[in-house]
Amino acid sequence: MSDVGVTVKKNEDFSEWYTQVILKSGLADYAPVKGCMILREDAIAMWEKIQAIVNRKIQATGHRNVYFPMFIPEGFLKKEAEHFEGFTPEVAWVTQGGNTPLEEKLAVRPTSETIMYATFAKWIRSWRDLPLKINQWCNIVRWETKATKLFLRTREFLWQEGHTAHATKEEAEAEVKYALQEYQDIMENYLAIPVVVGVKSDSEKFAGADYTTALEAMMPDGKALQMGTSHNLGQHFAHVFDIKYIGEDEKEHKVWQTSWGITTRTIGALIMIHGDDKGLVLPPKIAPTQVVVVPIPYKGAEPAEIAAKAKEIADKLREAGLSVILDDRQEYTPGWKFNQWELKGIPVRIEIGPRDLKQQQVTIARRDIKQKSFIKENEAVAAVEKLLEEIQNDLYAKAKANLEQLTAAVKTYNEFKQVMAGKGGFAKAAWCGNADCEAKIKEETGATIRVIPFKKEEPQTGCIYCGQKAKDVAYFARSY
Amino acid sequence: MSDVGVTVKKNEDFSEWYTQVILKSGLADYAPVKGCMILREDAIAMWEKIQAIVNRKIQATGHRNVYFPMFIPEGFLKKEAEHFEGFTPEVAWVTQGGNTPLEEKLAVRPTSETIMYATFAKWIRSWRDLPLKINQWCNIVRWETKATKLFLRTREFLWQEGHTAHATKEEAEAEVKYALQEYQDIMENYLAIPVVVGVKSDSEKFAGADYTTALEAMMPDGKALQMGTSHNLGQHFAHVFDIKYIGEDEKEHKVWQTSWGITTRTIGALIMIHGDDKGLVLPPKIAPTQVVVVPIPYKGAEPAEIAAKAKEIADKLREAGLSVILDDRQEYTPGWKFNQWELKGIPVRIEIGPRDLKQQQVTIARRDIKQKSFIKENEAVAAVEKLLEEIQNDLYAKAKANLEQLTAAVKTYNEFKQVMAGKGGFAKAAWCGNADCEAKIKEETGATIRVIPFKKEEPQTGCIYCGQKAKDVAYFARSY
């Protein structure tokens, strides 16, 4: 198994472990084009689950999916100066169509505000057209120059981008919060990843936004990972693209806008947080397959009987709405199969051998804590359903405990530096609000402000860097 | 209503009618980037329905979704010479990343054979890895130089591309047929569009394939539209990318491959075939909304009672699994609403007015033939379900009759030319199999061979062009 299984331990070489788990579980692969990756079957299946959850949520609140072109003329990107400056260093440019050089080069979308909002100006005429609430599932390109990190840093990735326009500032603010709350629900209650939510500092906000709110998760190696963002765009783009409406007061007003998104990098977080030395560990609500049933035809029993029983159990689980693989392949041993499905992170394994058959029971093995139990055959479905729920909850609880362990309230800059030089994690520290202090801290420790949490804490000290009066307690961390 | 409704008749100015229906129904819009379009809410909702149908079908037969990078290095495209020649005139090239010129320019995928198969060579080792059956939903770019035609000819479009590798030639052949059959089921039994199925001539086949099979539909203006293709790639790419496996015989073999796809242009066909002078007419199985319920609060009745009844009916229909809009907007009149929903093609409208309330009935209006009926309230759900089925069948029957009317068996080249100079449509004609005759016919009449049908017909004449012994009866037509 050594060339098939993961050969390094998670807590010994985290980065190598991460790459091996992904490649060996077959979740993804490097692509033959630099900086890009291939999302394989199970990764896409998880992304489709996330898509279904997001669609269900946002459609229930009146958002609808659309698709805008991927190409953005340079002139559009340039319209919002801050936006252009923020994105232009990482834009891939199409300069040639067929054999003909283009008159104006086209950006492959790094995000779609400009191409969408040029059209919003046409679609929105009166208050009756508001709010306009759309969403798009698509590929995005950002020309990363650092080394590729599967799921976390690739030149192309998949995402969802919601874009809304509202009649009032208050409605836009509510929408920004709405999107963030739904994301939090998805991360915590489906991906089993606890997050810290709050506002970005000005230097970390989206280029062109009034302010950016975000969800940040903590990886086991002490680095934070941004799980999603929701931007209040104010009226920046409305001014630049002249998006206005005639109100009920019969006067002309500019709209208020938001945009928000999550990407395939959330799958990277899932792997890092829940995986172990044997491979992936997937939360039942996101796992492409929730249960694998393995018949174990040892000698002394009739193989046909065991096969039939395994099929019967698999069918019953499927009828209950669970996603099940019945692994009745002849060319592999049960041991080989166990290793393979553990590597792939399937939450529950059911074994059916001669003893199980005789005692009218099944053997149920949990992937996460590798515990086995023996359940009466006729109680198997209910037991598996209960177990999946338990696993989902336990994974979250474990991740939550890790997050807490990796969060330190620090009172001095020395303490702060010790945290960052050591295991890393979040350092909760008082901050004066000055971008210079933020920049110095980044320069000296590599840590940035991940969020200023919504749940405000009263600063107990002066600014961790300059000692002046603190405005906020912020979450600092090094990050992916 | 004149600026809102469609102002030309379908049989008077088909092209203008088509554009107006799309823009005014809000199905799509021109994009602010040349040659591209915006797929709006209802178009994406229909595409998502098609996605769900395709996914259900192909997953049941062991295909799984993946996602490969959009960028293909020029060198990859070049590997299969015919493939490169076929696609390179319409490739959009990325030549710059950020501010840096790329060493090798990258094609924005016009199709994904080359990027995928380079990786297949890595994934496939033994007969145990076969068949490999994957599918991808993505955007595709082909740098069209002719004028944009919404849905039918745009520089970017959405599609699904299935790619498979098999141990034997026979398996690959069966897969090619499988995909085409499933496509036919989707076109005929969901989109209500009858198709002619068969093989392409060599000059019309996919660049790099052994042969191409296709579905062709006939538009009301006498031009054919290709609805999908399924290619037998033979071992062309297997040789070029060295995709081989160790068989059960312990010898090395090259794989046999297929690829197949349908695109968002199928939505264009749907509009052309079923639409009428009032706008879209959508088949119930594909319509984003199947039923609209409009309360009609005339004087003499309590508006609250009518509103409550309308909501009750809408809820009941939803419980039965139908997609329903309850249009209780105060700011529009019932007449305005009728026009709007007719324009958008919703199959069934339910009206609830004072008389309906009094007589415990609902008024049900069909979109396709504009027939009204009055149904007892407690029978409404069953009646609507039955009606939707009827509409679905009637739309297909009508389209089938049109297809037959637009298909002529021709015996002489004069007859052939008359058909093409007149209403157009399919001309079934004997062909010798010679590409020169095919080219001459195209030059002189604009018609190409759309397919040589699977259901072989015995040629009754010599080749329609040269008079020599005919090999096949082919379907000729001008096409989109």
User: Cβ neighbours of residue A213 under 8 Å, at least 6 residues apart?
Assistant: A176, A177, A180, A197, A198, A199, A200, A229, A230, A231, A232, A451, A454
Chain A nearest-CA distance from B71, in A, is 7
A24 vs B contacts (CB less than 8 Å): none
3-state secondary structure chain B: CCCCCCCCCCCCCHHHHHHHHHHHHCCEEECCCCCCEEECHHHHHHHHHHHHHHHHHHHHCCCEECECCCEEEHHHHHHCHHHHHHHHHHCEEEEEECCEEEEEEEEECCCCHHHHHHHHHHHCCEHHHCCEEEEEEEEEECCCCCCCECCCECCEEEEEEEEEEECCHHHHHHHHHHHHHHHHHHHHHCCCCCCEEEECCHHHCCCCCCEEEEEEEECCCCCEEEEEEEEEEECHHHHHHCCEEECCCCCEEECEEEEEEEECHHHHHHHHHHCECCECCCCCCCCCCCEEEEECCCCCCCHHHHHHHHHHHHHHHHHCCCCEEECCCCCCCHHHHHHHHHHCCCCEEEEECHHHHHCCEEEEEECCCCCEEEEEHHHHHHHHHHHHHHHHHHHHHHHHHHHHHCEEECCCHHHHHHHHHCCCCEEEEEECCCHHHHHHHHHHHCCEEEEEECCCCCCCCCCCCCCCCCCEEEEEECEC
Indicate the CATH number for domain B407-477: 3.30.110.30
Residue pLDDT, tens place only, B5-51: 999 999 999 999 999 999 999 999 999 999 999 999 999 999 999 99
A43 vs B contacts (CB less than 8 Å): 67
Q: With contact defined as beta carbons under 8 Å apart, do A435 and A473 qualify?
A: no
In the CATH scheme, what architecture does the domain B14-274 have? Answer: 2-Layer Sandwich (3.30)
Residue-level pLDDT at B83? 86
CB contact under 8 A, A119 and B29: yes
The pLDDT confidence band at residue B301, using thresholds 50, 70 and 90, is: low
A141 vs B contacts (CB less than 8 Å): 70
pLDDT at B187 over 90: yes
The pLDDT confidence band at residue A2, using thresholds 50, 70 and 90, is: very low
B137 vs A: CB within 8 A: no
Between A70, A98, A141, which is nearest B89 by CB?
A98
Residue-level pLDDT at A248? 95
Phi-psi region of B250 (alpha: psi -120 to 50; beta: other; left: phi over 0): left
B330 vs A: CB within 8 A: no
Alpha-carbon distance of A217 to A203, in angstroms, equals 20
- Which one is predicted more confidently, A145 or B386? B386
What angle is formed at CA A376 by the lines to CA A372 and CA A377, rounded to 5 degrees?
A: 105
Residue-level pLDDT at B137? 98
Residue A433: count of CB within 10 angstroms of its CB: 16
- Residue B118: what are its φ and ψ, rounded to 5°? -60, -35
Residue pLDDT, tens place only, A167-210: 999 999 999 999 999 999 999 999 999 999 999 999 999 999 99
CB contact under 8 A, B88 and A98: yes
Residue % of chain A over a pLDDT of 90: 93
pLDDT at B434 over 50: yes
Residue % of chain A over a pLDDT of 70: 99
- Which one is predicted more confidently, B66 or A83? B66
Residue A3: count of CB within 10 angstroms of its CB: 6
Looking at A274-342, which runs of residues are DSSP E strands?
A: 291-295, 324-326
Structural domain boundaries in chain B: 14-274, 291-388, 407-477
Mutation target to probe the A interface, by most A beta carbons within 10 A, among B29, B39, B46, B66 is B66
User: Cβ neighbours of residue B353 under 8 Å, at least 6 residues apart?
Assistant: B295, B296, B297, B298, B301, B306, B363
Residue pLDDT, tens place only, B66-84: 999 999 999 999 998 888 8
A139 vs B contacts (CB less than 8 Å): 70, 138-139
pLDDT at A1 over 60: no
* Averaged pLDDT, A215-233: 98
User: Cβ neighbours of residue A126 under 8 Å, at least 6 residues apart?
Assistant: A245, A246, A247
Residue-level pLDDT at B82? 87
C-alpha distances out from residue B335 to A268, A342, B294, B310, B331, Å = 53, 62, 10, 17, 12
A68 vs B: CB within 8 A: yes
Alpha-carbon distance of B361 to B110, in angstroms, equals 54
CB contact under 8 A, A69 and B97: no
Residue-level pLDDT at A4? 74
Residue-level pLDDT at B3? 59
Mutation target to probe the B interface, by most B beta carbons within 10 A, among A25, A59, A66, A87 is A66
In the CATH scheme, what architecture does the domain A291-387 have? Answer: 3-Layer(aba) Sandwich (3.40)
pLDDT at B310 over 70: yes
Find, in chain B, the residue whose alpha carbon is nearest to that of A26: B123
Residue pLDDT, tens place only, B372-404: 999 999 999 999 999 999 999 999 999 999 999
Average pLDDT, chain B: 96
Residue-level pLDDT at A80? 85
Residue pLDDT, tens place only, A103-127: 999 999 999 999 999 999 999 999 9
pLDDT at B309 over 80: yes
Residue pLDDT, tens place only, A318-327: 999 999 999 9
B329 burial via Cβ count (<10 Å: 0-12, 13-18, 19+): exposed
Residue pLDDT, tens place only, A387-399: 999 999 999 999 9
CB contact under 8 A, A65 and B41: yes
pLDDT at B280 over 50: yes
pLDDT at B4 over 90: no
CB contact under 8 A, A66 and B45: no
DSSP code for A99 = T
DSSP code for A126 = B
Chain B nearest-CA distance from A15, in A, is 23
| CA proximity to B140, closest of B261, B270, B233, B57 | B261
Residue pLDDT, tens place only, A436-456: 999 999 999 999 999 999 998
Residue-level pLDDT at A299? 67
Residue-level pLDDT at A298? 75
Residue-level pLDDT at A306? 92
Residue pLDDT, tens place only, B104-162: 999 999 999 999 999 999 999 999 999 999 999 999 999 999 999 999 999 999 999 99
Q: With contact defined as beta carbons under 8 Å apart, do A373 and A364 qualify?
A: yes
Mutation target to probe the B interface, by most B beta carbons within 10 A, among A25, A44, A109 is A44
A92 vs B: CB within 8 A: yes
Taking the C-alpha atoms of B464, B465, B467 and B470 in order, what is their torsion angle to the nearest 10 degrees?
-60
A31 vs B: CB within 8 A: yes
B233 vs A: CB within 8 A: no
Residue-level pLDDT at B249? 97
CB contact under 8 A, A88 and B71: no
Indicate the angle between helix axes A380-405 and A265-274, nearest 10 degrees: 90
Average pLDDT, chain A: 96
A123 vs B contacts (CB less than 8 Å): 29
DSSP code for A147 = P
Q: With contact defined as beta carbons under 8 Å apart, do A185 and A178 qualify?
A: no
CB contact under 8 A, B40 and A92: no
CB contact under 8 A, A38 and B128: no
pLDDT at A331 over 60: yes
Residue-level pLDDT at B2? 43
A324 vs B contacts (CB less than 8 Å): none
pLDDT at B302 over 90: no
3.40.720.10, 3.40.50.300, 1.10.486.10, 3.40.50.800: CATH of B291-388:
3.40.50.800
| CA proximity to A205, closest of A197, A213, A195 | A213
B38 vs A: CB within 8 A: yes
CB pairs under 8 A between A and B: 150
CB contact under 8 A, A89 and B98: yes
pLDDT at A357 over 60: yes
